[in-house]
Structure 1
Amino acid sequence: MDGTLDTSGVPAPLSVTTDLHAAHESAPISRIVAEVAATFPGERITLGEMAEFFGDRAFGLLILLLCLPSLLPGMASVFGTPMLILGVQMGMGRRNPKLPGFIARQSVKRTDLLRLATASSKWISKIERYVKPRPGWFTSAAGDKLVGWITVYVAIMLILPGPGTNGPPAFGNIVMALGVVEADNRTIGLGVALSIAGCAFATAVLGFICWLAIQALGWVI
């Protein structure tokens, strides 16, 4: 992803067959990303198109795709708002995301999406080797809601500016989203722990910055 979201296009009508959904519901993430890129041959693919294509796995996959650029400096705030909306909907118990028009029309480059399934993202394939369906509390409806609200917390940390505060929460959320996609209770639990730790670190840094600002203001006044 290049950090720019094009809002000029309107999501194209989509007709995905039941067989296609059944085929990708259990497919590895890298293969699903490749399928999406092949299904939409245009230069850019809208978030609305991806949400409809991903079906029941839309929350996890969209959060994953939005979180990856957040590991890069200066990119987090661009993708924080869509993540925030997805997190709220997931936290409220929705099974499929319903994106507002201005979010659904936002798009990513098809070439950037393809990189997630090729050489530049081999680490995803490596992680997938250890991620597999494992039922448990975190894969339940209550677990989904917890993941949603933690995603909201992560999104807020990504939106707020702070030195070094984007990477730790984003990494934890990526692990958590991988677990959601593959219904892996163990991976979700690990991601929850990493996300909470990352958000606690980011909150502490931002709180310290605010304290310094208040102290500096007091010295000036």
Structure 2
Amino acid sequence: MDGTTHLPLPVPGGAPAGHAAEDAAPISRIVAEVAATFPGERITLGEMAEVFGDRAFGLLILLLLLASLVPIMASICGLPILILGAQMGFGRRTPRLPAFVARRSIRRTDLLRLAGTSSKWLRKLERHVRPRPGPFTTPFGDRLFGWLTVYVAIMLILPGPGTNGPPAFGNIVMALGLVEHDSRTMGWGIALTVVGCIFATVVLALLCWLGMEALNFVF
């Protein structure tokens, strides 16, 4: 996600930008809303952060996580996700992006394809997402979301087979709950994120152990 990266993502079957119906799946509607707000060829993270205000955290993290599902994009998206998550964890209400992150951009056409990355299971879940106040739509929930997002970002940055998808998927569910103010969806997302992070941590720890054993065997 920079000045030259093009995301090789499938075209979604959702509504086009500017015509997202009220009953559209949340991801398709959110992506269409962002694309309609920025009619230019490219959209920077800084522009999105400025326009969407207190909604920017959830929107930016959701879009970056969707992009991270493309294997070559995971480590690129990891750092911006980590910065945004840490700011939420420390209680900021709106993101403050460093210049090198704010300048990163995505093509508008690539943005419209992001909705197509969601799996069938996630699309089923989207039908049940709606505003529901609760313990996770509070400042405590925002901070919890932030620190879990930091851990997910670390998993995205670190190399490891199969360690990106599970944490990112749970974080996407969390982000949907955050954007839609749905405490129940946030709760499911938190559970999925914790399980995904445990899995990724175990895999990475096992790889480190195997690497150490191999070095001991050689030397």
Provide the rounded CA distance (Å) in 2 between the counterparts of 1:177 and 1:52: 19
**Higher mean displacement: 145-154 or 73-82:** 73-82
Partner of 1:65: 63
Partner of 2:8: none
Give the Å deviation of 1:126: 5.3
C-alpha contact (below 8 Å) 1:67/1:173 kept by paired residues = yes
C-alpha contact (below 8 Å) 2:79/2:157 kept by paired residues = yes
Give the Å deviation of 1:121: 6.2
Within 5 Å, which residues of 2 pair with 1:2-21? 4-6=1-3
Provide the rounded CA distance (Å) in 2 between the counterparts of 1:74 and 1:40: 25
Indicate yes or no: 2:210 matched with 1:212: yes
Provide the rounded CA distance (Å) in 1 between the counterparts of 2:160 and 2:46: 30
Provide the rounded CA distance (Å) in 1 between the counterparts of 2:101 and 2:151: 19
C-alpha contact (below 8 Å) 2:166/2:193 kept by paired residues = yes
Give the Å deviation of 1:196: 0.7
Give the Å deviation of 1:70: 1.9
Provide the rounded CA distance (Å) in 2 between the counterparts of 1:120 and 1:217: 39
Within 5 Å, which residues of 2 pair with 1:12-161? 28-116=26-114, 127-161=125-159
C-alpha contact (below 8 Å) 1:36/1:53 kept by paired residues = no
C-alpha contact (below 8 Å) 1:169/1:197 kept by paired residues = yes
Identity over the aligned pairs, expressed in percent? Answer: 71
| 1:200–1:28 Cα change, 3 Å | closer
Question: What is the SS of the residue equivalent to 2:106?
Answer: strand
**Could you state the TM-score of these two structures normalised by the residue count of structure 1?**
0.83
C-alpha contact (below 8 Å) 1:172/1:191 kept by paired residues = yes
| 1:28–1:171 Cα change, 3 Å | closer
* Paired letter, 2:105: S
Partner of 1:180: 178
Give the Å deviation of 1:54: 1.8
C-alpha contact (below 8 Å) 2:44/2:105 kept by paired residues = yes
C-alpha contact (below 8 Å) 1:158/1:166 kept by paired residues = yes
Unaligned runs of 5+ in 2: 5-24
Provide the rounded CA distance (Å) in 1 between the counterparts of 2:175 and 2:72: 22
**Higher mean displacement: 27-36 or 42-51:** 27-36
Give the Å deviation of 1:120: 7.1
| 1:205–1:28 Cα change, 3 Å | closer
Question: What is the SS of the residue equivalent to 1:50?
Answer: helix
**Could you state the TM-score of these two structures normalised by the residue count of structure 2?**
0.84
Give the Å deviation of 1:129: 2.3
C-alpha contact (below 8 Å) 1:30/1:125 kept by paired residues = no
Unaligned runs of 5+ in 1: 8-26
**Higher mean displacement: 47-56 or 119-128:** 119-128
C-alpha contact (below 8 Å) 2:177/2:183 kept by paired residues = yes
Partner of 1:19: none
Give the Å deviation of 1:29: 4.7
Provide the rounded CA distance (Å) in 2 between the counterparts of 1:125 and 1:220: 49
Question: What is the SS of the residue equivalent to 1:45?
Answer: strand
